[in-house]
Structure 1
Amino acid sequence: MEQRKSYKEKQKNKNLFAKCLDGIEMIGNKLPHPVTLFGLFCIGIMIISAIAQAMGLQSTGELINRATNELELQTIKAVSLLSRDGIVYMLENAVSNFVNFAPLGMVLVGMLGIGVAEGSGYISALLKKTVAITPAKLVTPMVVFLGVMSNIASDAGYVVLVPLGALIFMSFGRHPLAGLAAGFAGVSGGFSANLIMGTIDPMLGGISTEAARMIDPTYTVQPTANIFFMMASTFLIMFLGWFITDKIVEPRLGSYDNNSKMSKEDDNLRNLNDKEKKALKMANATLIGLILLIAICVIPENGILRNAETKSIIDHSPLMNGFVPLMAICFFIPAVVYGKVAGVFKNEKDVCAQLGSAMSSMGGYIALSFVAAQFISYFSYTNLGTILAIEGANLLQSIGLNTITLMIAFVLFTGFINLFMGSASAKWAIMAPVFLPMFMKLGISPELTQVAYRIGDSTTNIISPLMSYFAMIVVFAQRHDKKAGIGTIISTMIPYTVFFLIGWIILLGIWMALGLPLGPDAFMHYSM
């Protein structure tokens, strides 16, 4: 009775927002296992697509023809998965959908290095060192900031920063799911923010250029078009993520019973013994050597890790395209050095055994990736996401709004569409030809439209099960809480989505009111 009364008192003292999050988590976690859930999603999209095709659902809009890279007026029709062609598609593409599922290869290759680093004790030693030199009050902003900055390497932050965020928090005696949430918020919720250009900038700029030339054949949206706004956004996301994690997310998660493997190995997480110190120094020296070697391959204008034609470090360069294997190497080699010096690895057989152990721990993720890959592929094949985007654009176009209100509405619309279409570039390829010309006619620059799109695209990533890496985040969470499910992740991340949206919209409004440039020669207004 006393325990029940205590629980009721706790519930009574919670505010409405916290109770809503608890309700979302409870309902979400009562759903079937994520593998089963995505399987049901697949069945659901089959039925919906068949009904949509039978009803003749279609939409017409100007879209980029991927074959010719030109804008064309296209009529997009719903395609049934329960037709002969649909059934053949599902059978013939089941393997390729799985094999080509973008997160799968990145995660598994990354784990070859990270798994050995964990098994050798190298990551544990790094965390102990981090705990020793980092003020406890700065742990949260550090994790969020590093998550944001990891976006220069495209999606690598999901593989590295999110699980490391959990371990860093646990090293400080804090709840690992709060650290996971902080890392996830930085990597995914702050996907468009950064202090320097990332791989997404030239990609979006290229699509925007093609769409803008429908109105002005000479117009070019540079990769640096949003850099000033995104630099300011980096600090906004860091401070908002810091506040949300420490004041909302972690208090709601409560205390954590730290019976992890890490704490069993060493109860005093702030100290290293002499052998660990020596091993860490040699491993770090090896890591620095590898980084210098990479730098030698990048800094010269003809460096082998630069784009052979454009000499770019960012745009389609071996450095960016091969970042995950390079990252795996930078974990693997120092980890082997650490393990050998620390006495964890006696010979190469121990290293190979650890590689196998790292892969075996990913069995659940591999199973989940199979069904998630099928669902995302089915959604694309049926054209339902494209139709939703075009019809939504037509609706937004028909509403007469002033510039600031229109941009806010566009941010919210993009955030909603992002719940159903996870790929930033694929979604922009559909939306840019519709919105950019329309807004240019209203005197709004393509650069401003692109900024608004990026805000909406980033903020709802963290609550969308259709986001490619969402399934992986659930698996990472289950390492620390076996009961964690989709409901746990969504309820934990909703505060970030709400505050990031509000904060980013306010920043955009201030930026527009002051008429500040979004990047070099990238302004708010466009004159026909």
Structure 2
Amino acid sequence: MANKERDSKQSRGVFGKFLDWVERVGNKMPHPVTIFLILCIAVIIISFLAAKAGVAVTYTGVDTKTKEIKEITVKAVNLLSADGIRYIFTDAVKNFTGFAPLGTVLVAMLGVGVAEGTGLITALIRKLVLSTPKQLITAVVVFSGIMSNIASDAGYVVLVPLGAIIFLSFGRHPLAGLAAAFAGVSGGFSANLLIGTIDPLLGGISTEAAKMIDASYSVTPVANWYFMIVSTFVITILGTFVTDKIVEPRLGEYKGAHTVDKGDLTAEERKGLKYAGIAFLIFIAVIVALVAPTNGILRDPETHKILGHTPFMDGIVPIILLFFLIPGAFYGVGAGTVKSSKDVISGMAKAMSSMGSYIVLVFVASQFVAYFNYSKLGTILAVKGATFLEAIGLKGIPLMLGFILVSAFINLFMGSASAKWAIMAPIFIPMFMRLGYSPEFTQVAYRIGDSTTNIISPLMSYFAVIVAFAEKYEEDMGIGTLISTMIPYSMIFLVGWSILLIIWTLLGLPLGPGAGLYYLLK
């Protein structure tokens, strides 16, 4: 929210004044595009100084390609060297086009544009408003965000903007809905009722790290399942509390121009929803036919798995495109808003035309993330942080809490969960095993820290996407507003999730099937 609107409200308590300070400082900074440009320059200068000073780290880590444990030395890379300057120029386009959120957002928005342009999304929202109790809507948005993680990054593209529209349709502040969905999708990243793509990825790295102590040890993809099921409900409750009691009261009444029609559905709209429902069921039946059989076309042709790097998961973005496009087009036919294929294409074009500012922002943000990775500054910070925690000599629950905090801090500078874990697992899993804690325990503590600061890190890949979505409702939206809005979620998720793990530890509950808390050193 703009500062001029904030002035009309009273901040309550020290925490409220702190959030106002974060917002004021953040919003006094230049436009997000300019900020990322400044950060690019800062990384270039820091990389030069670090390389000249000979900054380097050596650690025992997991090679992400071979999955082998080995000694790895990482030196700061100078972006002002001849090779660095060549990289800045020659890889600028690749950094932009290879930026993961870019393709995901643009392709998915083609389908969303059709569903929005034909009126399907508006009709569905109105039906939701008419059938859902108002007091449950926040929990539904947060819970849906958490569950969306099963579909990789779909939640960022679909649920975050949808959360804003849902709240607006209930007469609530759209940024509160956006924040609630973002908190569920990103802050609750590791929680889920189902096994997601991150589970086998982290489990594989943990297995290799555990073999440094026990060559026969194996961490399965379901190693943290029980804990994450409970975490899903805990994060939903915490996210609902933060939204209703802290974030939305602070945002105040929405006075923007965007509105959502909340009247009863017309006969044409009901007919359109019927057409859309039939099309949706047929589409789902086709996807199930491609996935359900053991030798399904969208399963891995060798392992027959559905999750992981499989045709189904690698093709999830086109599936999302069709998920919205097909029902959207059929809704338009039934409701009379689609007369020909031109109307469908017009919806796609309109969606793309609204993404102009996002594309500009992504170009600069993608260069910043690429420079940070190329310079190895993120890896150096991760290793230094892990080494510090190892050296201070904490044990038991205090060590676990320190580990969660270090993981949360490192996550602000190094976005990839698997890349961080490849560095940290070989350090902390053996350490915790020697103290009598299982690799599954160490992994779940890492996941708590890794998830909770996603929503306040500009280095998080989709941060620029969220800023672009928010600007739709607040044109002068600054990074300070977004971060100050998300800080309460980050802090309360971190504290609440840590308390859950402490209680879990004191009760001695299993983390997943066959995955206990403790390890008996052989």
TM-score range for the pair, normalised by the shorter chain length: over 0.9
Partners of 2:361 and 2:465 lie apart in 1 by 8
| Residue matched to 2:25 | 27
Which of 357-366 and 59-68 deviates more?
59-68
> Could you state the TM-score of these two structures normalised by the residue count of structure 1?
0.96
Equivalent position to 1:338, from 331, 342, 358: 331
Partners of 1:85 and 1:259 lie apart in 2 by 50
Which of 112-121 and 317-326 deviates more?
317-326
Alpha-carbon distance, 1:439 to partner: 1.9
CA offset digits 1:115-162 (Å, max 9, x no partner): 111111110000001111100000000000000000011111111110
CA offset digits 1:66-93 (Å, max 9, x no partner): 4543222122111110011111111111
Partners of 2:385 and 2:234 lie apart in 1 by 29
The one-letter amino acid paired with 1:328 is L
CA offset digits 1:172-204 (Å, max 9, x no partner): 111000000000000000000000100110111
Partners of 2:288 and 2:334 lie apart in 1 by 26
SS in 2 for 1:257: coil
Partners of 1:63 and 1:303 lie apart in 2 by 36
| Residue matched to 2:460 | 467
Pairs within 5 Å for 1:270-349: 270-349=263-342
Pairs within 5 Å for 1:36-435: 36-257=34-255, 259-260=257-258, 262-263=259-260, 266=261, 269-435=262-428
Alpha-carbon distance, 1:18 to partner: 0.9
Alpha-carbon distance, 1:314 to partner: 1.5
Alpha-carbon distance, 1:8 to partner: 7.4
The one-letter amino acid paired with 2:293 is P
Partners of 2:226 and 2:343 lie apart in 1 by 49
| Residue matched to 2:511 | 518
Which of 433-442 and 505-514 deviates more?
433-442
The one-letter amino acid paired with 1:113 is G
Equivalent position to 1:452, from 445, 452, 477: 445
Partners of 2:511 and 2:456 lie apart in 1 by 28
Partners of 2:250 and 2:65 lie apart in 1 by 50
Alpha-carbon distance, 1:380 to partner: 0.9
The one-letter amino acid paired with 1:27 is V
Alpha-carbon distance, 1:257 to partner: 2.2
Partners of 2:14 and 2:389 lie apart in 1 by 32
Partners of 1:124 and 1:161 lie apart in 2 by 14
- Give unmatched runs, 5+ long, in structure 2: none
Partners of 1:75 and 1:43 lie apart in 2 by 26
Alpha-carbon distance, 1:353 to partner: 2.0
Which of 485-494 and 430-439 deviates more?
430-439
Partners of 2:45 and 2:385 lie apart in 1 by 22
Which of 121-130 and 424-433 deviates more?
424-433
Which of 112-121 and 68-77 deviates more?
68-77
- Give unmatched runs, 5+ long, in structure 1: none
C-alpha contact 2:193 2:232 (8 A) present in aligned 1: yes
CA offset digits 1:399-448 (Å, max 9, x no partner): 22221111111000000000001111111112112221222222221101
C-alpha contact 2:64 2:422 (8 A) present in aligned 1: no
Partners of 1:357 and 1:272 lie apart in 2 by 25
The one-letter amino acid paired with 1:282 is Y
Partners of 1:258 and 1:125 lie apart in 2 by 21
Alpha-carbon distance, 1:166 to partner: 0.4
Aligned residues: 518
Partners of 2:398 and 2:463 lie apart in 1 by 31
CA offset digits 1:257-315 (Å, max 9, x no partner): 2532x53xx3xx14111111111111122112211221222222122122222222223
SS in 2 for 1:72: strand
CA offset digits 1:219-268 (Å, max 9, x no partner): 111000000000000000000011100010000000012532x53xx3xx
CA offset digits 1:439-477 (Å, max 9, x no partner): 222222110110000000000000000000000000000
CA offset digits 1:319-367 (Å, max 9, x no partner): 2221111111010011111122222222112221221111111111111
Alpha-carbon distance, 1:217 to partner: 1.6
Which of 413-422 and 371-380 deviates more?
371-380
Quick one: structure 1 residues 400 and 116, their matched pair in 2 at CA, closer, same or farther if it must change by over 3 Å? same
C-alpha contact 1:129 1:270 (8 A) present in aligned 2: no
The one-letter amino acid paired with 2:143 is F
Partners of 1:166 and 1:9 lie apart in 2 by 23
SS in 2 for 1:59: strand
C-alpha contact 2:29 2:35 (8 A) present in aligned 1: yes
Which of 18-27 and 68-77 deviates more?
68-77
Partners of 1:161 and 1:66 lie apart in 2 by 31
> Could you state the TM-score of these two structures normalised by the residue count of structure 2?
0.97
Alpha-carbon distance, 1:209 to partner: 1.0
Partners of 1:28 and 1:43 lie apart in 2 by 19
Alpha-carbon distance, 1:9 to partner: 8.3
Pairs within 5 Å for 1:438-517: 438-517=431-510
C-alpha contact 1:163 1:180 (8 A) present in aligned 2: yes
The one-letter amino acid paired with 2:374 is Y
SS in 2 for 1:480: coil
SS in 1 for 2:520: coil
SS in 1 for 2:172: coil
Alpha-carbon distance, 1:106 to partner: 0.5
Partners of 1:526 and 1:397 lie apart in 2 by 19
Quick one: structure 1 residues 441 and 342, their matched pair in 2 at CA, closer, same or farther if it must change by over 3 Å? same
CA offset digits 1:480-525 (Å, max 9, x no partner): 1112121111000000011101100100000011111000111111
RMSD, aligned α-carbons: 1.5
C-alpha contact 1:390 1:434 (8 A) present in aligned 2: no
Partners of 2:65 and 2:454 lie apart in 1 by 29
